[in-house]
Structure formats: structure tokens, C-alpha cells
Amino acid sequence: MTVTSRLVFSPGAEKSNRKKHINFGKTIHMQFPSPVSIEWLSEFLNAKVVGNRNGFATGINEIHRVEKGDLVFVDHPKYYDKCINSDADFIIINKETAVPEGKALLITDEPFEAYCKIVNHFRPYEAATGMLSSSAIIGENTVIYPSAFIGHHVRIGNNCIIHPHVTILDHCIIGNDVVIQAGTVIGSDAFYYNGKRNRALWYKRMPSCGRVIIEDEVEIGAACTIDRGVSHDTILGAGTKLDNQVHIGHDSIIGKNGLIAAQVAIAGVVDIKDGVTLWGQVGVNKTLTIGENAVVLAQSGVPSDLAGNKIYWGTPTGEAGVKRRELVWIKRIPELWKKVMKEE
């Protein structure tokens, strides 16, 4: 079926939907509907406040993506300093410690549980009641094929094609002129767990309150999976093209005009700059950066940052020319060994 701007969630949305470019906004992490006082949070969480009692938190975020005004949690001494000295102004923590001026600690025995309580309060679970939510906004000339699922508060721009069995989950944003092939899932939960060995079940899932944002003229192949952010957004830049069976982890940001071939797996909190090409079956480790216009050849493993404007290959990755010369020398090892043995 073809759907043309008949699903709206606020007055005026239908009119704004006809703009050439969808407005993605500046917010790329979960913000509260309005700033929340630390006093209210302390009562809500039954937490002790140390530091700035008069502050207001504007949003919740995870440590790798925090910004000024954010609330973050930490429950392991290894990360205390990193969280307290990050851009976050408010820290849910399980130990009283020194805090920089202007910041506040919210002290509670179980910071993780406190974090989950906040997320579930401000971003409660909404069960689906049909294949196409009444709160979704669908742009002009966008085609939604039968059996596609569109969740709550989803926004899809103009001139898109959403093929059969595509799933676009709550709060995700799709730009204009986007093509999503059959069987792809946009906005699945992050693979992100709080692990503790002192409880019967070690791993507890952290609720994912981030989104997936797909900018204009992106094309996504069949059976891809793009996880939403834990609290930040997972973003695909304008003009980027994905082949089939690509996985993109939570909170990762893919730049503009990227090319990603089949069976590439990108872990969480990865920054891939504009114009990067990843060929088939490349694996990218978490929390790293790949520079502009880099090319990573097939079946490579990327364990750490890569500079832009170079071609890489291998596991661990290195510059392709260097790796090829290394292979030449490896092949000569038996010959060289024979010469060494004769000289002895």
C-alpha cells in the first residue's frame, strides 16, 4: 500500500511532513520532556545527594557519549573517576566520594537499578496493537509493503520504500528517499548488559532508550540489523549504502556516503567518518574511530582506530601494502630456515 501523510501524532505534523528534508534535530540522546530537578530525582530514587542540590538534569546518557546536563550511572570503582570527571553533571553512584564543583552525586546501593527506573519512567514500554502504529508519521509517496511493521512514534520521510517484513521499532527516524529491503530490523535493543558475579543470574539487560536515525538517501539491504542506542542514537549518515546481512551495534555513528558490504559486523559506540568503505565480512571492534575515506578490505578485523585515506587489510588490520609484503616474507621463511641450518 501507499501511505501519504495520514498518520500524525500532533497538530501541524501533516503540513511539516511535506518539507523536502526531514528535521532530525540536534538531540542525539534521550532527553527528559523538561529539565528534572536533582531534588525530585533523589526522592524518586531514594538516593542521597552530595554536591549541587539545585541542579537540573536535561537527559540521560551512557558514559561514552555524555554531554553537559546529562545524568549517568556508575557502579564499579574502576570507572568512578571517568564518570565523575566526564561531561556529565549528575552521577548515580554507589559510594560517596569527592565531586567537582557544580556537579552532584546521587548515592544509592544499586545505581543500575536506579538507572533502569528512570528509563522506564520516562520511556515506558508500549505494547504494539497493530502492524502500523497510529502515532507514526509517514511522508508523501512513501510505500509501506504488506507485512512491514512500523512502531510507535516512528517518523518516515517522503519517497521511501519499506519492503516486506521490515521492522522499524519505536521512536526511530527515517529520512527522505530511503530504501529498506526485506527482513531488516531497525531499532532492536542494544546488546548491552550489566554484569555482576554476585547474583544468581549474572547479566541484566540495560533498557535501550536511544533511537536509530537514518538520514536521506540511505539504502539498506535485506536482513540487516541496526541496534538502537542505549541512551544515545545510532546514526546512518546521508547517502550511505548497506549490503545484505550487515549488523550495526548500539550508539554507533556511520558518516555520509559510506559503503558497507555483506556480513560486516560493527560493534557498539563506533565512529565511522564520511566516505568509508568496508568490504565483506569485516569485523569492527567497539569504541573506535575509522577516519574519512578509509577502505577496509574483505575479512579484515579492526581492533583499534584507523586513520583516514588509506587502504587496510588483515587481522589485526594494517596498511594493505605492508601486509602484502609481510606475506611475501612469510612465504620465504622455509627457504631462509634451510639456509640457516646449512650455515650451522
| Residues classed as catalytic | 250
Q: What is the largest CA-CA distance in the chain?
A: 88
Indicate the residue type of 148. A
Q: How far apart are CA 134 and CA 146, in angstroms?
A: 16
Please, which residues have CB within 8 angstroms of residue 300's CB and are 6 or more apart in sequence?
Answer: 279, 282, 283, 312, 313, 314, 315, 317
End-to-end CA distance of the chain: 80
Cell numbers at 5, concatenated: 501523510
Residue of 31, 115, 28, 35 whose CA lies nearest to 73: 115
Bridge pairing between strands 234-236 and 212-214: parallel
Please, which residues have CB within 8 angstroms of residue 20's CB and are 6 or more apart in sequence?
Answer: 158, 176
DSSP structural state of residue 115 = H
